[in-house]
Chain A
Amino acid sequence: MTADLKTSYMTINMGPQHPSTHGVIRFILKTNGEIIYHCEPDIGYLHRSIEKIAESVTWQGFVPYTDRVDYVCSMNANWAYCLAVEKMMGIEIPERAEYIRVIVGELNRISSHLIAIGTADMDMGAVTPFVHCLREREYINDLLERVCGARLTYNYMTIGGVANDLPADFIQKTVEFLNHFEFAMEQINRLVTYNRIFINRFASLGVITPEQAINYNLVGPNLRGSGVNYDLRKDEPYSIYSKLDFDIPVGTGSEGILGDCYDRYIVRAKEIKESVKLIRQCLNQLPSGEIQAKVKNVIKPPQGHIYVRTETPRGDTGYFLYSNNKTSPYRLKIRTGSFTAMSIIPEISQGLFIADLVALIGSLDVVAPEVDR
């Protein structure tokens, strides 16, 4: 009887309003029951023409827009843009500003990774670790609020330094937080990262081989999860990273196959610890002095173009600037990690369950505004 039955693939629309697509992303799934036959990501729901807007605002005026490129780690987005403009104009920024940038950047990296880890946990059905991650993130938000007055879109870094100095008791409060946080993170790990059910869900799933990762231009923790040791902070050091001592965690396939979802996840969990190390070093070495280089109010970078890359929590973020010596960029192009991470989903997701696709998206840490810009 079964031979006569005509079956066809079921087309399911996942998103744009789906709790696990991490923002307004849509996947068109062709499934055989629960097993995915084909998955087509449909992006663009969050497109805000940020690159086009850049052509009509001043160079400094674009900094707040970079916040919105990736609002989960806007401090790092600020940094990437400011660094690009500074390189273009040859501005040397004061050392204290560099240290402050690393401190707030790494704090922001921690909070971004907390979101990544927390949402991955929540996608796996563990709601409590997510709330615990957000609780810890609140402390970081408090700290950054004391620095710049904002909790999400900081607009803190300026071309030539940072907007204002650290408040008086910032160092003490941050050390206090880090002491608390190191244990809290261990608790979250015990609650979910080392949980057998969780490991079984993530291990050997969505394997991206190192070759695939490089071919698809994956960056950041997604690339390192596949075992490729590449981090711009080490390999093309910018700012003061060359002076600081830290390790680059890479995936080892500890629970399954190299490059599986668990590797990408554990790389983030380990990177948090490295960030804590970095912040502690910077707080100890923090020099006094100026926080802002002398920059004119109206800047006109010289004719030419530049492409500057920095390591944000979602990996290599590149800013391509083309200046024709005017008050606003002639062309600005942003290259983000989530966009390329999206492109590998169709290939990897074939043959997975729908529940696994959710895990895959969670482990790739895709953030919708960064995909669409």
Chain B
Amino acid sequence: MEAFAVSLGVHIYLVKAIIMFIIAALSVTFMAVISGLTTWFERRIAGRMQSRIGPNRVGPQGLLQFVADAVKLFMKEDLIPKGADRLLFKMSPYLCMIGVFAPFVVLPWGMGIIAADLNVGVLYLISITALVVVGTLMAGWGSNNKWSLLGGMRSAAQIVSYEIPVAMGLLPSILFAGSLSMIGLMNAQGWAPWQWSAFQNPFTMIAFLIFFTGSLAEGNRVPFDLPEAESELVSGFNTEYSGFRFAVYFLAEWANLYVIGALTTAVFLGGGNLPEALQPYWYLSIFLFLLKTFFIMFVIIWLRWTLPRFRIDQLMDLSWKYLLPLSFIAFFGQAVYMLIDHQFPVIDMVTGPIMFLIFLLVLLKFFYRVAINFREQNKTVNTRA
């Protein structure tokens, strides 16, 4: 790079700055498109689950619906309610957006493909996503609306409580990998499912489930969507927002979905790791990574359209009484496991396949139930005249 800069006759920092700028622009653009596509993804899935079609008019299969929605939102009047705290009101969407977009710096896209492999990647990610709390709290306070205030308060309480289980859930994997960097965490796992962190041993499995539950709560997704709770708080902290500001919230919410998916994939599901034979085809790893991420996103969407919502005290109970102690157990267990593993490395070969087998059995049971449902449901009815 240096030689290239010298040959052009410009300073090395200028070249670096330009490259950074290009990467940032690419990430943010990708981000926006991903979150747009995710809205389409979610709405189509929701449609299928609810015996309807979902958006299918704009573009092929309704794929461009999010563009139409965004254009509509941009053309709307930007309202600021009377008596609102204008500074807080205006600032909050951008804080939310930063909180959700900044993690993209350390999110990998495949084997070794990452914008910046910070050596404290996970720590950075956990801390920067906490900005969202500040954003929602500011929106709740600044809107001069009691419902928004309740939403903002709920959001703050919820995200602060769930930060801890989420961080604790990541610890066993970090302990195993011995690294806080995303690439380090990914490299510590193999390509095969039984080499993934999630299936490594019972403790990482628990940690994975805790992390997943906690991320749902942090991302304000059902069954933990209390800050937005449509049927209780109308729309929660973003009730008073319209136009572009609302679009930003919209963007942030679905980008957050991608962040959760990507983080889960990278830390627990082997990231984009390929078998030895396939490693020259690096683009396959991007494909694999996105596939896993979208699967996790699909699961989150699926949960959203299936489950009812918790109540605020039940939500707190879950975090403080169950997830937190469990995550300590998982952390401690993982430490003990690693001690034993150090003495008898063979245990590593055994627990992984067993855990994966258990997972497969659960999956089998699930498909069995689905098959029964399908068979029983095969009674068509037409009552129309």
Contact = CB atoms under 8 A, between A and B. Distances in A.
B138 interface: no
Contact of B376 (A34, A127, A183): A183
A333 interface: no
A192 B308 contact: yes
A136 to B, nearest CB: 10
Closest 6 CB pairs of A and B: A125-B309, A142-B383, A131-B50, A124-B308, A180-B381, A126-B308
Given A135-B51, A173-B382, A183-B377, 5 more contacts: A125-B230, A126-B309, A187-B377, A197-B308, A355-B311
B103 to A, nearest CB: 27
B385 A142 contact: yes
A370 interface: no
B373 A187 contact: yes
Given A125-B223, A355-B229, A139 B381 contact: yes
A110 to B, nearest CB: 13
Contacts of B186: none
B69 interface: no
B276 interface: no
Given A20-B232, A125-B225, A353-B311, A131 B380 contact: no
Interface in A30-69: 33-34
Contact of A179 (B146, B150, B308, B379): B379
A285 interface: no
A343 interface: no
B380 A128 contact: no
Nearest to A13: B146
A195 B310 CA distance: 12
Interface in A136-180: 139-140, 142-143, 145-146, 173, 176-177, 179-180
Contact of A131 (B52, B225, B233, B307): B52
A295 B326 CA distance: 74
A128 B305 contact: yes
Nearest to A205: B311
A142 B51 CA distance: 17
Interface in B272-322: 305-314
B147 interface: yes
A200 interface: yes
A12 B99 CA distance: 31
B308 A146 contact: no
Interface string A332-358: 000000000000000000000111101
A197 B223 contact: yes
Contacts of B379: 179-180, 183
Contacts of B154: 34
Interface of A: 10, 12, 18-20, 33-34, 121-128, 131-132, 135, 139-140, 142-143, 145-146, 173, 176-177, 179-181, 183-184, 187, 191-192, 195, 197-198, 200-201, 353-356, 358
Given A353-B311, A355-B312, A125 B377 contact: no
Contacts of A179: 379, 381
Nearest to A180: B381
Contacts of A355: 226, 229, 232, 309, 311-312
A123 B154 CA distance: 18
Given A10-B146, A34-B312, A195 B383 contact: no
A180 B383 CA distance: 11
B376 to A, nearest CB: 6
A19 B234 contact: yes
B50 A354 contact: no
B57 interface: no
Contacts of A132: 50-51
Nearest to B369: A190
B358 interface: no
Contacts of B230: 19, 125
Interface string B130-156: 000000000000000011001001100
A191 B383 contact: no
Contacts of A173: 382-383
Given A127-B50, A128-B49, A121 B308 contact: yes
Contact of A128 (B50, B225, B309, B384): B50
28 contacts: A10-B146, A12-B147, A127-B46, A128-B305, A128-B306, A131-B52, A132-B50, A132-B51, A139-B383, A145-B385, A146-B385, A176-B381, A177-B381, A177-B383, A180-B381, A183-B376, A183-B377, A187-B373, A191-B306, A195-B307, A197-B310, A200-B311, A201-B308, A353-B312, A355-B226, A355-B229, A355-B232, A355-B309
A123 B50 contact: no
Given A20-B231, A124-B308, A355-B232, A142 B313 contact: no
B383 A122 contact: no
Contacts of B225: 125
A191 B303 CA distance: 12
B168 interface: no
A204 B225 CA distance: 23
B222 interface: yes
Nearest to B147: A12
A191 B231 CA distance: 19
Nearest to B379: A180
Contacts of B383: 139-140, 142-143, 146, 173, 176-177
Nearest to A122: B231
A180 B312 CA distance: 38
Contacts of B314: 200-201
A81 to B, nearest CB: 27
B55 to A, nearest CB: 16
A182 to B, nearest CB: 9
Contacts of A177: 381, 383
Contacts of A201: 308-311, 314
Contacts of B313: 353
